Amino acid sequence: MRDVAIIGVGMIKFGKYPDRLLSSMGRDAVLAAMKDAGVQPKDIQAAYSGSLHGGSLLGQRIFKDLGMVGMPINNMENACSSGSSAMREAWLGIASGLYDAAIAVGSEKLSALGGGVLPMEREDIEANEGMVMPALYAMRARRYMEDFGAKPEHFAKVVVKSRKCASKNPYAQFTKETTVEEVLNSRMIADPLTLFQCCPTGDGAAAVVLCSGDKAQKYTTRPIWIKGSVLVSGRFINGFRDMTTPEITVRGSKLAYEMAGVAPKDVDLAEVHDAFSIAELLYYEALGFCKHGEAIRLIDEGATDINGRIPVNPSGGLLSKGHPVGTTGLAQITEVVWQLRGEAAGRQVKDPKIGLTHCTGGGIYGLDHGACSIHILAK
């Protein structure tokens, strides 16, 4: 397999754009990434488009008006992992030697769905009984409180950290700082999770340009190297689940660390799938940043703050930057690239060398999850 570098990234500000076409948002992200990379349309040999609700042939609609036609365009849906799955396929196409340069784009317009809770598939037994994602993560939170003594204040601290980071991110949906009291006093959604502890729906797009290692210096003097790229799907559940251990993330991260030749202690920053406050805490443990049951210690000590031992979600994460689902994985990649290049003004982690992104997707009755993609990047 060949070395693969990221040579350009771009995204639009997350928010709600009722009057914009989804394809035009994706196109803006593509143009920003290509400008950042210094490439022309003729340089791109393949494109990968990720979206959950993008409809038919979204990728073709994005690239048509840029004159990027005739090349292979792959449209991908993998729930919240759609964008990061597109990223992995672009990496694989180049690493295998099939292409020298490719682009991945994630685009989503959730405001068109009217807001509220995204529905689960009706064929899943739990969905027919009223199971939605906030309820699932509320159960995880209750179990974690019972097993490890967590308090609602611990969950609220995750949101406070998130909003503080997002206040320095011009691409974030929510940029106003908050307090523990405000988080806990926001409307209850699924006890103990309040409104501020649930990620918002919204619109957005992000794109990443990749090329083979031997071609990277042609375009840039600051390539970011893809050291690990992993995509795993859910496994059958046998018996009762440990609600405080996201098994799919544990499996995926082990594979990613092995591929990259690094350990959790080597990671300088991470962007993780904090769709709910409790989720971020669980992923501290599942990704190996601390032992099982110790996540509340990390949040109490400030270990995951911008200036902490292992900064997590310096972008503001899903909770504050936003979560236009098919875009999220590529927005995470974009943030880590900016951090590794020293371009995250106002929220810059000090001299990071290795960054990790983690994006999970969906839930299916009988499996431990739907999908999980993890990327490890290095400068």
Active site residues: 80
Number of H helices, E strands in the chain: 13, 11
Q: How many angstroms separate the first and last alpha carbons of the chain?
A: 19
> C-alpha 367: how far from its chain's center?
21
- Are 332 and 84 in contact by the 8 Å Cβ rule? The answer is yes
Nearest to 349, CA basis, from 306, 291, 299: 306
Residue 316's alpha-carbon distances to 74, 159, 377, in angstroms, are 30, 9, 19
Helices (H), 41-179: 58-64, 82-95, 125-128, 133-148, 152-166
User: Tokens 């317009």 identify what position?
Assistant: 109
**What residue has token string 């900016």?**
338
From residue 118, alpha-carbon distances to 127, 142, 208, 300, 342 in Å are 11, 22, 26, 32, 35
For residue 29, what is the enclosing H or E element? helix 22-37
Whether residue 309 contacts residue 300, with contact meaning beta carbons closer than 8 Å, is answered with no
Asked if 231 and 81 touch (Cβ cutoff 8 Å), the reply is yes
194 to 129, 191, 199: CA distances (angstroms): 22, 7, 11
